[in-house]
Each structure stands twice: as structure tokens, then as C-alpha cells.
Structure 1
Amino acid sequence: MNSLPAEGCDTLHTLDLPDGNRTPDALISTLADQQQRVVFSKDTDFIQSHLLQGTPRQLLVIATGNIRNAELSALVLNALPLLKNLFAAHQLVELHRSAIIIRQ
């Protein structure tokens, strides 16, 4: 997803955080909410937290199954204009290989 900054997206990867990939989900959610970021994740823990606690406030669930990074990047970049519009009005969106689903 290194191409997102080139598309004008302000991104922050867990590797950029002091504890890297060991950063607790709760801290990732808190940072995302404070900085008005959308969390991108395949992790079902984020879905549970979003549904039960309302955090992270905005979540993009990557529901592609196993996928190469290049394919995932292309998928996200192709969907980016629609995703930006969807996140203006929605908080939980699923990205599949052939569909985008809005969850309430």
C-alpha cells in the first residue's frame, strides 16, 4: 500500500509506531480515532471492537483471503475514489476481490 501517499492519502503503518507490529489493537484504534484515520485490517478483533465499542471509528475490513501485496495494493488503489466517498458517510466497509460492502 506504499502507493497510497502518492494518491494524497496520509498513511501510518504499524511499523512506523514505537512498538511496530506489537502495538496493541486498542492503541491502534485510539490513535486512528484521535487522528481521524481509517484502520485497514484483516483482523477480526478490530471488527469486534468496532461493533461492540465503536472503536476504531472507521474500519476497512480487507476480506480478500490470501492475496499478494501487489494485488492488494492494486485492488485498494482501484477502489480508492469510491472508498473515500463511502467513508465520508459510513464507518464500516468491507473490501472483497470483486465487491465492496457497506456494513451498518
Structure 2
Amino acid sequence: MKFLVDAHLPFGLVKWLRTRGHDVIHTSELPQKNKTEDADIIQLSIEQNRIVVSKDEDFYKHFILKGQPSKILLLTMGNIVNNELISLFEKNIEQIENDLQQNKIVELSNDSVTVHF
């Protein structure tokens, strides 16, 4: 899978996803770095067929209004230390991967993985 990880998420998540064999870009690796506008993130995700990984509900709202980006992994666990975030991914990655293959929006919270579309 190809992911685009938003600015407010740690680069450690990018590294971890890469160890799983995924093609991952963090906004800090883009020309505008972590100041990349949401519209540019959406456009890049469309051009490169990437799943946007973010805590920012604006991406969800934009999807509802315009059907873009094509896929979102929305993280709704609130503030969390990096090790706990990685642990949530470790526990749920297989379900996340399976759900994202067939659905547009998947939400990861502290205690569940939920499909929205």
C-alpha cells in the first residue's frame, strides 16, 4: 500500500509502515515540508494513489463534500505517545490493511478499527 502521513504524526510511524513493506511519504519529506497545505496533500494522494493517514478531520469532511482524497486512514485516539501509537498499529495493521483494500475510509481509535465507506 502507498501512504501519505500528515505532519502531526511522528516519522516513527513512517519508518514502522516501511518495515511492513509499504511505500510511505511523510509531509516532512515534501518540498513544503510540514507546511504543505491540505489541498496539496489531497492532490498528491490522488496523483500517486496514496492513502492519507491523519488525525485531521478536515480530510474526512473534504471526502464527504468532494469525494477526495480517494482513501483515508483517520486516527481518532487523541493525544498519544509515539510508542503507544505504534503499538496500536501493531495490534491492528492486518485489519487496517484488509479494510483499506475494500473501503474508502477506515478509522483507528484506541479500542477499534471502524469502516466508514
TM-score surpassing 0.5?
yes
Extract unaligned runs of 5+ from structure 2: 1-12
Q: Per-residue CA shift, 1:47-78, capped at 9, x if unaligned?
A: 11111111111001100011011111121132
| Deviation >6 Å, runs of 4+ | none
Return the letter of the residue paired with 1:35: Q
Deviation at 1:88, TM superposition (A): 1.1
Residues 1:74 and 2:93 aligned together: no
Alpha-carbon distance in 2 for matches of 1:77, 1:54: 29
Deviation at 1:81, TM superposition (A): 1.3
Residues 1:42 and 2:55 aligned together: yes
Residues 1:25 and 2:70 aligned together: no
Q: 1:16 aligns with which of 8, 29, 52?
A: 29
Deviation at 1:36, TM superposition (A): 1.3
TM-score (norm 2): 0.84
Extract unaligned runs of 5+ from structure 1: none
Q: Per-residue CA shift, 1:9-55, capped at 9, x if unaligned?
A: 11000000000111010110111122111111111111111111111
More strand per residue: 2
Check the 8 A contact 2:50/2:71 in 1, yes or no: yes
